[in-house]
A and B are shown apart, each in its own frame.
Chain A
């Protein structure tokens, strides 16, 4: 009887701990990264301990064990990486003869993905495409690694360094702390980080002018909208994603100053925000129900739900969705393609490729490198041909941004 109660208590604490962990993350996305460097327990632990108090903590920590498991992906993640390496390895040997003079073949490059890893059809896949291109063009020897949560980032970075990689690329701002610590510990290895700035002698910070690309798709949305109301679904309300929102709103207002833009975010927790198509779909559904007819998402894998919501909300040509990071028209199911107006391209592939190429030719340059409209680091896609008729206007806006005639804000007005 008593034992039963104790077990029940543990189960209750576990449930509470999870709830606490789920809402414990909202303090600041920076703290999420903060735990990364220490490799101790990951964020969830902090969240859980906070709420459950001293004695219960054992139970609560257990829960985190379970939460972290989202990442039992570990093992399999590793397995599939090798799979990928194998295949690409084959292609590159055949191609290697065709490479150019001064670039050294066989540069060992490690790409550390963000949580979802390869297959998100968005951000991570763009990085993967850049790596694949580097493998093909100048025979890079690639290593891939996908973290299972916050707890194992530093360890994965360390193993990439000790694996003898000459260039280690962290894909995503959540790698900031791991790269900061790792670059200090291994001054002889070159590092790069996407979407974040790490100031060190051996780190190249690859950042994008997302607001500029978002400005163009915002203009496209306003030019396409019949209702004068458009929507934005963001993954997590952090500065990075707010750049997308700010540019989108500014671009839409450039075309139609009276346009109404509904902005919503999926979660405070990056592990959920970029990974919950159900919620992404519900947010978009609410917007379509509220008469918005174009919805732009900056929510990684959650965006799949936005596209489904568009298809459920109306006929092709009546309602639209706008993709992000990659040309998402190319990766969605055929029945969803008529709903993808355009995608905001963020050329993470170019950034990864260029950095690998520079390193292979001995020209690795540390410091901040901004990929903006002027170098085609951001842009919009034209697949499907839905923006062909407004392309001249968009290209005109693009030129004005490049020339500095239009200044695109990076923070949305509240």
Chain B
């Protein structure tokens, strides 16, 4: 969707010709996508495409993937490639399931962080201290983690009421939900039924207004508190990594470790810290899954750690990009979990076609016929699909989110810029 629309983005950066849009291009892409999806909703007459419930699933689906991606971001920004995200996430699930059951869900989140950080520590020990190839070490963790998880589950959960070697007993208590007062009708200091303007706006099906209201409604209504924490972590990461001394040093360990070292920054220390944060976030991603399902169950990560890695590439190693990539995947995966996924996917295809039309207009204004032609072909194909197909086969419904991710990774991969020294072992005195 916005996959192809990013083509003009990189073009605009290289050489600017023709018309220039004021402000950051990313905002224009978001705006165009909103209009496109809202138009698609109107044309296909499928209100569920942008309902608050759909956005709710999208957020719950995206959150663990986004968090794993953020974990990968800390690792790679500090110079370590973390293929082991999946394994650390699995460690997170088993610890979270254990502590959420033994104590309470918040302890479960903490347990997830600790479990994942243990994995991160192993990875840091292998890659930073011993200079093991980062890919090999990461895979080793992915191979190790499910075994460790099963072993722990056998010790901890087997024989407990409601537990077994493949799943923990249910969590003790609820983590709680957050509803914004006044905006979404949440309680405020004893005032029970505050107004719900977002809810009533969302129900009105006004062009664009209702769609945005639905999204805000989903973000502010009965949002699980661990998901609120995920959002906070994203905002905090932008600040910490780009506005603090700590962040600068951490990133320097990934960009130019010898320069950092020459200025007295301990590359080894920052790479360890980066890996610990990375593992902790991946583990917390696992705990978000555990809290969502209310229990640990074997294999529940289902490759989400690897998807997190993909969002890192989509998001160009930046928190906002990671969130956007995970959000895109979450949205497409979310609509496959609604009542009529085939129709929703068709509506999304229409939205993509409309977005491409905007992209064509933009490229033409930029006097760039190449991308315009490509987008015209893509848009024509999508439009043809929308107009000729009545019902999408279930096989395609299941692959749709992955296809979208592949397309976006493929188109974004060209323009992305990873940290220069990520994945290269560094020893004191080396010149890289």
A352 to chain B, nearest CB (A): 18
> Which residues from chain B contact A264 at a C-beta distance below 8 Å?
337, 339, 341
Residue A80 contacts which of B146, B165, B337 (CB distance < 8 angstroms)?
B165
CA distance A333 to B418 in the complex (A): 46
The answer, yes or no, to whether B139 is at the interface (CB within 8 Å) is yes
Which of chain A's residues 273-299 have a Cβ closer than 8 Å to chain B? 275-279, 281-283, 285-287, 289-290
Q: Are A333 and B169 in contact (CB under 8 A)?
A: yes
> Which residues from chain A contact B299 at a C-beta distance below 8 Å?
70, 115-116, 271, 275-276
Identity of the chain B residue whose Cβ is nearest the Cβ of A283 in the assembled complex: B337
Q: Are B297 and A275 in contact (CB under 8 A)?
A: yes
Residue A116 contacts which of B298, B418, B420 (CB distance < 8 angstroms)?
B298
Known interface pairs A277-B297, A282-B61, A282-B337; A1-B420 also in contact (CB < 8 Å): yes
> Which residues from chain B contact A80 at a C-beta distance below 8 Å?
150, 154, 158, 165
Residue B406 contacts which of A19, A70, A275 (CB distance < 8 angstroms)?
A19
Please tell me which stretch of A4-12, A158-166, A385-393 contacts chain B, meaning at least 4 of its Cβ atoms lie within 8 angstroms of it.
A4-12
Known interface pairs A304-B293, A332-B162; A69-B402 also in contact (CB < 8 Å): no
Residue A66 contacts which of B53, B142, B289, B298 (CB distance < 8 angstroms)?
B142
Which of chain B's residues 267-307 have a Cβ closer than 8 Å to chain A? 289, 292-295, 297-300, 302-303, 306-307
> Which residues from chain A contact B144 at a C-beta distance below 8 Å?
72
**B-contact bits for A46-72, CB 8 A (1 contact / 0 none):** 000001000000000011011101111
The answer, yes or no, to whether A262 is at the interface (CB within 8 Å) is yes
Number of interface residues of A (CB under 8 A): 74
> Which residues from chain B contact A268 at a C-beta distance below 8 Å?
394-395, 398-399
Which of chain B's residues 293-348 have a Cβ closer than 8 Å to chain A? 293-295, 297-300, 302-303, 306-307, 309-310, 313, 334, 337-339, 341
CA distance A355 to B113 in the complex (A): 47
CA distance A76 to B166 in the complex (A): 12
Q: Are B300 and A275 in contact (CB under 8 A)?
A: yes
Residue A77 contacts which of B81, B150, B164, B306 (CB distance < 8 angstroms)?
B150
CA distance A277 to B295 in the complex (A): 9
B141 to chain A, nearest CB (A): 9
Please tell me which stretch of B3-11, B103-111, B421-429 contacts chain A, meaning at least 4 of its Cβ atoms lie within 8 angstroms of it.
B421-429
Residue B139 contacts which of A62, A74, A120 (CB distance < 8 angstroms)?
A62
> Which residues from chain B contact A23 at a C-beta distance below 8 Å?
398-399, 402-403
A325 to chain B, nearest CB (A): 14
CA distance A156 to B78 in the complex (A): 43
Q: Are B420 and A4 in contact (CB under 8 A)?
A: yes
**Is chain A's binding surface mostly helix, strand, loop or mixed?**
helix
**Is chain B's binding surface mostly helix, strand, loop or mixed?**
helix
Q: Are A278 and B298 in contact (CB under 8 A)?
A: no
Known interface pairs A71-B146, A308-B293; A14-B83 also in contact (CB < 8 Å): yes
A360 to chain B, nearest CB (A): 28
Identity of the chain B residue whose Cβ is nearest the Cβ of A148 in the assembled complex: B146
CA distance A15 to B57 in the complex (A): 24
Residue B86 contacts which of A12, A66, A83, A279 (CB distance < 8 angstroms)?
A66
Q: Are B86 and A237 in contact (CB under 8 A)?
A: no
Number of interface residues of B (CB under 8 A): 65
Known interface pairs A67-B303, A80-B158, A117-B165; A12-B399 also in contact (CB < 8 Å): no
Residue B167 contacts which of A1, A272, A301 (CB distance < 8 angstroms)?
A301
The answer, yes or no, to whether A335 is at the interface (CB within 8 Å) is yes
The answer, yes or no, to whether B88 is at the interface (CB within 8 Å) is no
CA distance A70 to B164 in the complex (A): 17
> Which residues from chain B contact A115 at a C-beta distance below 8 Å?
299
**A-contact bits for B117-135, CB 8 A (1 contact / 0 none):** 0000000000000000011
The answer, yes or no, to whether B145 is at the interface (CB within 8 Å) is yes
Known interface pairs A286-B338, A308-B294; A72-B146 also in contact (CB < 8 Å): yes
Residue A4 contacts which of B83, B413, B418 (CB distance < 8 angstroms)?
B418
Q: Are A79 and B154 in contact (CB under 8 A)?
A: yes
B98 to chain A, nearest CB (A): 15
CA distance A254 to B169 in the complex (A): 37
Q: Are A73 and B134 in contact (CB under 8 A)?
A: no
The answer, yes or no, to whether B409 is at the interface (CB within 8 Å) is yes
Q: Are B302 and A275 in contact (CB under 8 A)?
A: yes
Q: Are A335 and B167 in contact (CB under 8 A)?
A: no
The answer, yes or no, to whether B143 is at the interface (CB within 8 Å) is yes
Q: Are A304 and B297 in contact (CB under 8 A)?
A: yes
The answer, yes or no, to whether B60 is at the interface (CB within 8 Å) is yes
Q: Are A281 and B135 in contact (CB under 8 A)?
A: no
Q: Are A22 and B167 in contact (CB under 8 A)?
A: no
Identity of the chain B residue whose Cβ is nearest the Cβ of A124 in the assembled complex: B166
Identity of the chain B residue whose Cβ is nearest the Cβ of A285 in the assembled complex: B57
The answer, yes or no, to whether B147 is at the interface (CB within 8 Å) is yes
B237 to chain A, nearest CB (A): 21
Identity of the chain A residue whose Cβ is nearest the Cβ of B139 in the assembled complex: A66
CA distance A9 to B402 in the complex (A): 19
Residue B162 contacts which of A76, A277, A333 (CB distance < 8 angstroms)?
A333
**A-contact bits for B148-181, CB 8 A (1 contact / 0 none):** 0011001000100110111101100000000000
B126 to chain A, nearest CB (A): 15
Q: Are A276 and B339 in contact (CB under 8 A)?
A: no
B317 to chain A, nearest CB (A): 10
**B-contact bits for A3-36, CB 8 A (1 contact / 0 none):** 1100110111011101111110010000000000
**B-contact bits for A306-343, CB 8 A (1 contact / 0 none):** 00100000000000000000000001110110000000
Known interface pairs A14-B83, A66-B139; A304-B295 also in contact (CB < 8 Å): yes
Q: 6 additional contacts, CB 8 Å, given A19-B310, A118-B166, A331-B162?
A: A11-B309, A12-B413, A20-B402, A277-B295, A278-B293, A333-B161
A sample of 5 inter-chain contacts (CB < 8 A) reads A19-B307, A62-B135, A282-B60, A282-B334, A308-B294
Top 6 nearest A-B pairs by Cβ distance? A119-B164, A72-B147, A7-B423, A119-B166, A23-B399, A18-B306
